[in-house]
Amino acid sequence: MKTRVATLTLAASLLSLPAFADGKVTFKDPSGDDNGPGTYKYPTDTVYKKASFDITEFTAEKKGNKVDFQVTLGTNLEDPWKMGNGFATQMVFVFIDTDGKEGSGHTDAPPGLNVQFAPDSAWDKLVILSPQAPARVRKEVETKAAGLKDDIIVPERTKGSGKKITGSVDAESLKGDPSQWGFQVVMQSNEGFPSGNDLLTRKVNEYEGQHRFGGGNDGDCDPQVIDILAGSGKGDASEKQAQYDMLKYECGAEGASKTKATLKMVRQSK
């Protein structure tokens, strides 16, 4: 009887772990942490549905000459702005550390996110999953993130269906095995009329408005991030606090950044 109980306990614990296989990785994320550093609130317009920015699962899988990405959210997607791809309000940044080497890659993020990456979590490639036309996204990258553009990839087609946002890129642009990479998935909101140099990102203000997230700062010091992966990517409730800790920030005088939110990759345990 004891052996049977131990076996069942082991099986249950294994089910809670991230799934890894050659060419594929899946991470879980807890529900209800779509509030950035713990204080953010959704805009007031009804197009921003509850849980529609809440990442619950992320998968990257190499299939032949393609790498497929899938982000699962807490509720069904909608296309209120008639983008034509099955979703409209979300935009996802998939940062990838392909080599796992400290000092290799980028610690800066594209403008509009207001985050940085820890040196041991520098990203080598970034895949943007946006409902905007690929040509528009690429033009924005060239204009606003010229120093990073060679490492930013925009799929030819990104679509939403049910609760899932999916996109594929050529494996040639992401050499290696996804199960060996580090990932950070940043949930933002698609902004067709971005402020200043922001890369199609929606700002977070002190108070929420019709098309503005609230709970942040009216300056340019708060992370413009609604949800991320954290911890070991198992989806445990404890990973909410790990997210909040990564997204901690400090503002200086007149809304300038004093301490920037610093992100880490989620990766397979070795």
Residue 4 is predicted with a pLDDT of: 52
**Exposed / middle / buried, residue 225 (Cβ in 10 Å: 0-12, 13-18, 19+):** buried
Q: What is the pLDDT of residues 236-270, one digit of tens each?
A: 999 999 999 999 999 998 899 999 999 999 997 75
Q: What is the pLDDT of residues 11-66, one digit of tens each?
A: 444 444 454 457 999 999 999 999 999 999 999 999 999 999 999 999 999 999 99
Q: What average pLDDT is seen over the chain?
A: 93
Average pLDDT over residues 188-194: 97
pLDDT at 2 exceeding the cut of 80: no
Q: What is the pLDDT of residues 211-226, one digit of tens each?
A: 999 999 999 999 999 9
Among the listed residues 179, 134, 133, the one whose alpha carbon sits nearest the alpha carbon of residue 152: 134
Q: Which fold does the domain 18-263 belong to in CATH?
A: Immunoglobulin-like (2.60.40)
Residues linked to residue 212 through DSSP beta bridges, in sequence order:
209
Listed in sequence order, the residues at least 6 apart from 64 whose beta carbon sits closer than 8 Å to its beta carbon are 171
Residue 7 is predicted with a pLDDT of: 47
pLDDT-above-70 percentage for the chain: 91
Contact at 8 Å (CB) between 28 and 11?
A: no
Please give the Cα distance from 246 to 81 (Å, whole number): 32
Structural tokens at position 69? 């990405």
More confident residue, 2 or 234: 234
Q: What is the pLDDT of residues 58-71, one digit of tens each?
A: 999 999 999 999 99
Residue 270 is predicted with a pLDDT of: 58
Residue 22 is predicted with a pLDDT of: 72
pLDDT at 145 exceeding the cut of 60: yes
Listed in sequence order, the residues at least 6 apart from 61 whose beta carbon sits closer than 8 Å to its beta carbon are 23, 24, 25, 67, 68, 70, 178
Q: Which residue has the tokens 């509030």?
A: 35
pLDDT at 97 exceeding the cut of 60: yes
Average pLDDT over residues 171-197: 95
Among the listed residues 144, 56, 117, the one whose alpha carbon sits nearest the alpha carbon of residue 92: 56
Q: How far is CA 110 from CA 94, 96, 131, 170, 231, in A?
A: 12, 14, 18, 22, 23
Q: What is the pLDDT of residues 70-91, one digit of tens each?
A: 999 999 999 999 999 999 999 9
